Amino acid sequence: MSEHETIRGWLSLAASGVLEADEQRRVEQHVATCDACRSELEGWQACAHELARLPAPAVPSHLVERTRARVLEQFAAAAERR
């Protein structure tokens, strides 16, 4: 995979601010010279900005407890298999 393809795969993550510092730096260096990737990054940044404005949905407590119980069951099953 080329550097350009790697960076293109990271653009949405860069816009969301979840890349490691060295990856973010590589994206910034690349978009400084690549108009296509810079334009795509700007689109992702606009999208991320609008998504951040949405209210966070409330998670029902029963869903949290069910998920927690299921994870604990899977951990126990994995431990038994070992």
* Percent of the chain surpassing pLDDT 90: 83
Residue 59 has pLDDT above 90, yes or no: no
pLDDT > 90? residue 44: yes
Fold for 3-81, please state it.
Arc Repressor Mutant, subunit A (1.10.10)
- Structure-token match 């998920």, residue found: 67
What is the arithmetic mean of pLDDT over 42-70?
93
Q: What is the mean pLDDT of the chain?
A: 94
46 pLDDT more than 90 = yes
Contact status, residue 9 vs residue 41, Cβ threshold 8 Å: no
Please, is 12 exposed, middle or buried when counting C-beta atoms within 10 Å of its C-beta (0-12, 13-18, 19+)?
middle
In the predicted model, what is the mean pLDDT of residues 44-51? 96
Phi, psi dihedral angles at 63 (to 5 degrees): -70, -40
Q: Where are the domains of the chain?
A: 3-81
Is the per-residue pLDDT at 50 higher than 90? Answer: yes
